[in-house]
């Protein structure tokens, strides 16, 4: 007896200088979607990449047309800007996103799909084990602890960008962050909507290509500044 497929899903990947990781990531994504989802689309947001990401995506679009689309930012808009473009370009009933660097396994997506019920608004992954340099793990743990405490967020891992969201809810919230603080803003606003939230453990892998843009001094400064402004808006002034 065949297993019913998930009805309708948009998948998108924010990408910045991720040319080497995108081909295997997208090919595995399409293999998973063909097996588990009835109606799907895939979007990659090329956030002003300076490597060969554009050329790689041009070839991949040719391979996977008409199911793959590319949104291109001429200049880098930051992680928040890339996510906002990805959400705006997604048209199916649910939206799944994870990063284009391949540190999460898109093969685990069916585990999120299995948790969707009639009132589910968010299925959020949490890292079973983080494979990053020690300083990144420490900063990530501190950031996650402080963000959960300050914003009264209930999910255990805000920093896990492996999320499945009901698009109807995305249309009702207005996201403004341009940095990594968009994850805090997104989860906080989804939790405030009263939707059911589910969580599932997912594996995290060492980055094989490039390096994270988040852990630069300028990026950290922008993130913490935006986090403070966000806290005033979403907690103090609410």
pLDDT in tens, 44-56: 999 999 999 999 9
Candidates 178, 176, 180; CA nearest to 144 is 180
pLDDT score recorded for residue 155: 96
Cβ contact 86:120 at 8 Å? no
Yes or no: domain 6-236 corresponds to CATH 3.90.550.10: yes
Neighbouring-strand partners of residue 37: 6
Domain spans, the chain? 6-236
Closest CA to 198 of 93, 111, 127: 111
Q: Give SS3 for 37.
A: strand
Cα–Cα distance for residue pair 94/168, rounded to 1 Å:
8
Task: List, for residues 23-82, the tens digit of each pLDDT value.
Answer: 999 999 999 999 999 999 999 999 999 999 999 999 999 999 999 999 999 999 999 999
**pLDDT for residue 223:** 75
């Amino acid at each position: 007896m065949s297993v019913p497929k998930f009805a309708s899903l948009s998948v998108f990947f924010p990408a910045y200088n991720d040319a080497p990781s995108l081909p295997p990531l997208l090919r595995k994504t399409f293999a998973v979607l063909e097996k588990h989802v009835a109606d799907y689309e895939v979007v990659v947001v090329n956030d002003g990449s300076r490597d060969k990401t554009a050329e790689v995506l041009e070839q991949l679009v040719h391979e996977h047309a008409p199911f793959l689309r590319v949104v291109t930012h001429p200049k880098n808009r930051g992680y928040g800007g890339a996510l906002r473009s990805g959400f705006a370009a997604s048209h199916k009933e649910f939206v799944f996103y994870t990063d284009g660097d391949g540190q999460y396994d898109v093969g685990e997506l069916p585990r999120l799909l299995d948790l969707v019920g009639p009132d589910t608004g968010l299925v959020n992954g949490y890292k079973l084990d983080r494979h990053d340099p020690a300083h990144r793990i420490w900063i990530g743990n501190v950031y996650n602890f402080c963000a959960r405490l300050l914003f009264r967020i209930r999910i255990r891992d805000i920093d896990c960008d492996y999320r499945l969201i009901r698009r109807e809810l995305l249309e009702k919230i207005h996201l403004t962050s341009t940095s990594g603080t968009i994850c805090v803003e997104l989860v906080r606003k989804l939790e405030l909507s009263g939707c059911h939230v589910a969580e599932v453990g997912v594996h995290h892998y060492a980055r094989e290509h490039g390096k994270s843009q988040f852990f630069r001094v300028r990026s950290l400064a922008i993130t913490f500044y935006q986090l403070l402004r966000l806290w005033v808006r979403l907690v103090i002034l609410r």
